[in-house]
Amino acid sequence: MPGPAGADSPDADSLVALDGVTKTYQLGGTVTALDDVSASLDAGSYTAVMGPSGSGKSTLLNLVGGLDTADTGTVRVDGVDLGRVSETRRAEKRGTAIGFVFQTFNLMPRLTAVENVALPLVFDGWPQEKRLDRARDVLDDVGLGDRYDHKPAELSGGQRQRVAIARALAPDPSLLLADEPTGNVDTDTGAAIMRLLAEIHERGNTILLVTHARRIAEHAERIVHVRDGRIERVEAVERRRPYDGDDRDGGGPDARTGTGDGGTEDTDTHDGGDTDGHDGGDTDGAPANDPGAGADGSA
Ligand code: ADP
C-alpha cells in the first residue's frame, strides 16, 4: 500500500512513474497543462487525481494512458517508458496493459455489448470465439450477464458505463484509468459504478481515477490534488467512502477528512457536462479510448 509520499517520489519499481513531466499546448499562446509533475503509483493502489476544471487532470491521465506524450520528463508504465517507444508499441500497451473508462462511455453504437467488450481483444490477437467467450465472462462479472446482445442505445447510462468498464477489463490490464466515470450518470447509478470500481480494486487491479468531485475521490486510498498543472499535495484518505450507495452528501457538514480544503465539497462548479469537448453521447468514430487507432468495429 502506497503512503502519501508515494505520489511525489517516483520509483522505477512502481507500476506507474512520472518524473518531471511537463506538457504544453500551443493554441493562440502557450498553455502549460502539466508543469514538472512527478508521481508514482504502486501496483494494487487506488488513487484519485482531483482538481478543478483545467488543472491538468485529463492531460495527466492521457499521458499515463499513452494517448499523448510529454514534452519533457518521463512516463513509465509497467517498466516501459512511453515517450521512448514507437506509436505502435504505445498503442499495443494501451490495448493490453491499460484499460480506459471515460465519462462519455465511448462505446461503438452499432455493436452489441459483447462485441464492444470483445473489441480490444481483436488488437490483442485473440481468435473470435475466445474473445466473445472472454467478453461474456467479463460482462457477467460487471452484472450484465443478461445484456450481451443489447446495443448501447438499448442500455441505460449505468449499463453503458458497465459495458465500458468490462471493455477496459477484457484484456486483463494491470492498470485501469477512469476519467470522470460517473459524470454522465445519475447519483445512484454513479454510486453503483463506484462500488464496481471498488470491487475491481479489491480484486487486485491498480486504479487511477480522475475527478473534480471530492465525494468521488474519497473512494480512493489517496487523493493527488492538482492545480494549475502542478501537484499541490497528496492526501491519504482516512475515511474512504463507504460503498453503501450514499453518494449524495457531497457538500455536507461532516467533512470526512478534516483537511481544511472544503470538506466534501467539489473543487469546482462542474455542471455535469464535460470539460474536454465530448458531447455526452456515444461516439461513432474511433473513440479516444480505443486501443487501436481507426477501429472500425469489427469485433
Ligand atoms: P482538466 O482535465 O483538469 O479539466 P485538462 O488536462 O483537460 O484539465 O487541461 C489542462 C489545460 O490544458 C487547460 O488549460 C486546457 O485548456 C489545456 N488543454 C488541454 N488539452 C488541450 C489541447 N488539446 N489543446 C490546447 N489546450 C489544451
- pLDDT tens string 87-108: 888 888 887 889 999 888 999 9
Amino acid at 69: T
pLDDT at 257 over 50: no
pLDDT at 67 over 70: yes
Q: What is the pTM of this model?
A: 0.79
Q: Is 53 in the pocket of ligand 1 (CB under 6 A)?
A: yes
Nearest CA to ligand 1 atom 16: 54
Mean pLDDT of 169-174: 92
Nearest CA to ligand 1 atom 21: 25
Q: Is 290 exposed, middle or buried (0-12, 13-18, 19+ CB in 10 A)?
A: buried
* Range of weakest confidence among 1-10, 30-39, 164-173, 222-231: 1-10
pLDDT given at position 125: 83
pLDDT given at position 12: 52
Instruction: Give the chain's mean pLDDT.
Output: 81
For 273-291, give the secondary structure using H, E and C.
Answer: CCCCCCCCCCCCCCCCCCC
Q: Is 22 in the pocket of ligand 1 (CB under 6 A)?
A: no
* Range of weakest confidence among 113-127, 191-205, 253-267: 253-267
Mean pLDDT of 147-170: 95
Q: Best of 21, 25, 37 to mutate for ligand 1, by most ligand atoms within 8 A of CB?
A: 25
Q: Is 58 in the pocket of ligand 1 (CB under 6 A)?
A: yes
| DSSP conformational letter for 242 | P
| DSSP conformational letter for 153 | G
Q: Which of 67, 87, 65, 69 is nearest to 78 (CA)?
A: 65
Q: Who has greater pLDDT, 189 or 231?
A: 231
pLDDT at 262 over 50: no
CA distances from 137 to 69, 148, 171 (A): 34, 10, 12
Cα 25 to Cα 189: distance, rounded to the nearest angstrom: 35
Q: Is 12 in the pocket of ligand 1 (CB under 6 A)?
A: no
Number of other CB atoms surrounding residue 275 within 10 Å: 19
Q: Is 121 exposed, middle or buried (0-12, 13-18, 19+ CB in 10 A)?
A: buried
The Å distance, Cα 56 to ligand 1 centre, comes to 6
Q: Is 56 in the pocket of ligand 1 (CB under 6 A)?
A: yes
